[in-house]
Amino acid sequence: MTDENYTDFGYQKVPTEQKTEKVAEVFHSVAKQYDIMNDLMSLGIHRLWKRFTISIAKPHQGDKILDLAGGTGDLTKQFAKRIGEKGRIILSDINNSMLSVGRDRLIDQGICHNINYVQANAESLPFANNDFNIITIGFGLRNVTHKEKALAEMYRCLKPGGKAIVLEFSKPVVKPLNPIYDLYSFKILPKLGKIIAKDADSYQYLAESIRMHPDQETLKQMMQTAGFDKVEYHNLTGGIVAVHVGYKY
C-alpha cells in the first residue's frame, strides 16, 4: 500500500479506512467521563473558550444552527438558549455514545424544545444545500480523517451570508508555553485519563492528535480552499486553542 492509503492516528500511521473506527473506539471509551475530564484537563478554561465561540457566532432568534461533533452538548446548550422557540439547532456527532450522553444531559436539564439529534459523519452530511445560518465544529475537526471534505460539506450546507466556526486545539504562539504544554500533554494528561476515565491510551491519542492537527495558518488556507471568504482566526490561551471563522457569500 502507498502512503496515500495511510493516515495519522495520533503519531501512528494506520490504513485510512480504519481511522474512523479507531477514533470511534476512543470516544466510546471516554464518553461517560468526557465532561469531567474536560474540566480537569483545562482547569475549567474550556468553558471560556466555548463562551468566546458563542460570542463570535452571534446567533439570532430564529436561526438554524448545526453543531458538528457536538458531543455532550456544551455549545448546543448555549445556542438553544439564544435562538428561541422559532430557532432550530441540530446536535450532530459521528459517535453514538457521545450523542447519547449529550442528548440525555440536555433533556435532564430541560433544554430540548428546539434541538434535534443526528448521528452523522462530518465528511458526508445528510443535510440540504444552503440550510444553516451557523455551523460550528468544536474540538472535532482534528479527529476527522479527511478534513478538507468536512470543510467542503460545512460550506455546502451553509446559507449564503452564513458563517462556519472551527474551535480547535492549535499551536501555541508563546514559546515559553511549549515545554510546559508538552509536559502536561504527554505526562500528566494520560495519567489523569487512567485515573478518571480508566483509559490512559485514549488520552495519549488525544494529546498526539492535537500535535498532528494543522496550525493556524494552514487551517485558514484549508478553509479558503473549501470556498470560505474573510477567513480569520483568534488565538486563545496563547494559541493553545484557536477559533477560526469563515463566511459564505
**Strand 64-68, strand 88-93: pairing:** parallel
193 located within any domain: no
Lowest-confidence region among 4-13, 61-70, 103-112, 148-157: 4-13
Which conformational region is residue 61 in: left (phi greater than 0), alpha (psi within -120 to 50 degrees), or beta? beta
112 located within any domain: yes
11 located within any domain: no
**Structural domains counted in the chain:** 1
153 located within any domain: yes
Range of the domain at 165: 20-174+203-247
195 located within any domain: no
pLDDT tens digit sequence for 161-189: 999 999 999 999 988 888 888 888 888 88
160 located within any domain: yes
Give alpha helix (H) positions in 116-234: 147-157, 177-183, 189-196, 200-212, 216-225
pLDDT tens digit sequence for 217-229: 999 999 999 999 9
Mean pLDDT score, 14-43: 79
196 located within any domain: no
2 located within any domain: no
Q: Which three cell numbers stand for residue 221?
A: 488556507
Quickly tell me which residue has 493516515 as its cell. Answer: 7
What is the H or E stretch that residue 48 is in? helix 46-57
pTM of full prediction above 0.85: yes
Q: What is the CATH number of the domain that holds 233?
A: 3.40.50.150
* Angle of CA points 124, 126, 132, to nearest 5°: 105
